[in-house]
């Protein structure tokens, strides 16, 4: 039985760090285990320009524990007024790494997102020209489309036509949650990757709805049926270069989750690596964990893997993980995988 595993230090290719007291309270949960992270720009107001991304990055670095090395890779929130020249200059100067497309209304703080995709073609064409990746929240917002179908419909109605129109655009389908999403990525040889979250490998929609409504398992895209979770597990544990970890760790204070209209988001940063080692061991794929957490992401983004290593150790007794992180903005509940965790980061 494997009881210790040393891998290249992981990166998180999709992370929400928030700002202010929440940022200060939760940053260590990521900087402790991850070397780099793609930082989501959906603050209020959103991070729209390179100058805003630079100043947000400074706030992140000021909030992190001094002893931790952590390199936040910044993204810009795409709006219908985004200036292609600002995006290109930010990318050329190494100040921003990617642009994030939120369809307007799709999720938390997405009101300033894109309503009419044709309006952002000039930015996307520029990005294709300079090789800058587009991170996509892949859900349609049409209220007549069932929430469990919104990702599959997005692929057919928006993503595939967009990629055909702007060929050469490098796209990451963020937090893919369906078999259709996995199959679409697998059908494309180049220019398309996908992040997979920790929680979508562990829960299906029953976790949210069966036996009572559990807001701490609610996120967007919402967890789907079991067949989809199994497709995600097989993609993540396959080692296929097109799939990599993006935790989508998304903290909200407990009062904002435990209410009549609770926020979407699951806070997985503190125990993500323990959960992933458990999942990969269950799938007999511990030898492919490193590809998922530490190699495939940098390769997609055209970056080198980290030089540092981390060691995961399997303990004889379950590892104690705090169920909440206390922040100046209130307590945040940590993802409960509903099984004991034995893997620990040394």
By annotation, the residues acting in catalysis are: 248
Q: Does 14 bind ligand DOR (CB under 6 A)?
A: no
The values of phi and psi at residue 165, to 5°, are -70, -45
Report yes or no: 155 and 180 within 8 Å, Cβ to Cβ. yes
Q: Does 16 bind ligand DOR (CB under 6 A)?
A: yes
Cα–Cα nearest to 37, from 246, 224, 241, 198: 246
DSSP structure class, residue 310:
E
The residue behind tokens 């040393």 is: 6
Taking CB under 5 A as the criterion, the residue among 248, 329, 336, 344 binding Zn ion is: 248
DSSP structure class, residue 100:
E
* CB of residue 315 to ligand DOR, shortest distance in Å: 30
Q: Does 78 bind ligand DOR (CB under 6 A)?
A: no
Site for ligand DOR in 276-315 (CB under 6 A): none
Q: Binding string, 64-83, against Zn ion, x = CB under 5 A? A: --------------------
Site for ligand DOR in 247-276 (CB under 6 A): 250, 263-265
Cα–Cα nearest to 248, from 283, 203, 281, 287: 203
Alpha carbon 311 to its chain centroid, in Å, reads 23
Q: Binding string, 42-71, against ligand DOR, x = CB under 6 A? A: x-----------------------------
Report yes or no: 177 and 225 within 8 Å, Cβ to Cβ. no
* CB of residue 1 to ligand DOR, shortest distance in Å: 35
Partner whose binding site includes residue 112, from Zn ion, ligand DOR, none (CB under 5 to 8 Å by kind)? none
* CB of residue 252 to ligand DOR, shortest distance in Å: 6
* CB of residue 8 to ligand DOR, shortest distance in Å: 27
The residue behind tokens 């939760």 is: 26
Give the three-state DSSP class for 181: helix
In angstroms, the CA 106 to CA 270 distance is 26
Partner whose binding site includes residue 52, from Zn ion, ligand DOR, none (CB under 5 to 8 Å by kind)? none
Residues near Zn ion (CB under 5 A): 248
């Amino acid at each position: 039985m494997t009881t210790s595993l040393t891998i290249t230090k992981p990166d998180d290719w999709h992370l929400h760090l928030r700002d202010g007291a929440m940022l200060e309270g939760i940053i260590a949960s990521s900087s402790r285990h991850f070397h780099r992270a793609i930082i989501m720009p959906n603050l209020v107001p959103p991070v729209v320009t390179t100058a805003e991304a630079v100043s947000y990055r400074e706030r992140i670095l000021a909030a992190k524990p001094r002893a931790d090395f952590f390199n936040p890779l910044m993204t810009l929130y795409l709006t219908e007024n985004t200036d292609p020249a600002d995006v290109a200059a930010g990318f050329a100067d190494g100040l921003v790494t990617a642009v994030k497309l939120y369809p307007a209304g799709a999720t938390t703080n997405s009101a300033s997102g894109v309503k009419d995709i044709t309006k952002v073609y000039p930015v996307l064409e520029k990005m294709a020209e300079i090789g800058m990746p587009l991170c996509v929240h892949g859900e349609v917002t049409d209220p007549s489309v069932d929430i469990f179908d919104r990702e599959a419909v997005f692929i057919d109605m928006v993503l595939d036509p967009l990629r055909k129109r702007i060929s050469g655009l490098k796209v990451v389908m963020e937090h893919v949650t369906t078999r259709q999403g996995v199959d679409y990525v697998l059908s494309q040889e180049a220019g398309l990757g996908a992040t997979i979250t920790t929680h979508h490998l562990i829960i299906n929609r029953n976790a949210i709805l069966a036996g009572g409504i559990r807001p701490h398992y609610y996120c967007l895209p919402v967890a789907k049926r079991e067949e989809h979770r199994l497709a995600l597990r097989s993609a993540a544990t396959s080692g296929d270069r097109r799939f990599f970890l993006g935790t989508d760790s998304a903290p909200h204070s407990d009062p904002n989750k435990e209410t009549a209209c609770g926020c979407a988001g699951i806070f997985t940063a503190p125990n993500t690596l323990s959960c992933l080692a458990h999942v990969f061991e269950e799938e007999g794929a511990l030898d492919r964990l490193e590809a998922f957490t530490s190699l495939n992401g940098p390769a997609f983004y055209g970056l080198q893997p980290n030089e540092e290593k981390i060691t995961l150790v399997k303990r004889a007794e379950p590892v104690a993980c705090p169920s909440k992180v206390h922040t100046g903005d209130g307590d945040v509940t940590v993802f409960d995988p509903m099984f004991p965790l034995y893997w620990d980061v040394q």
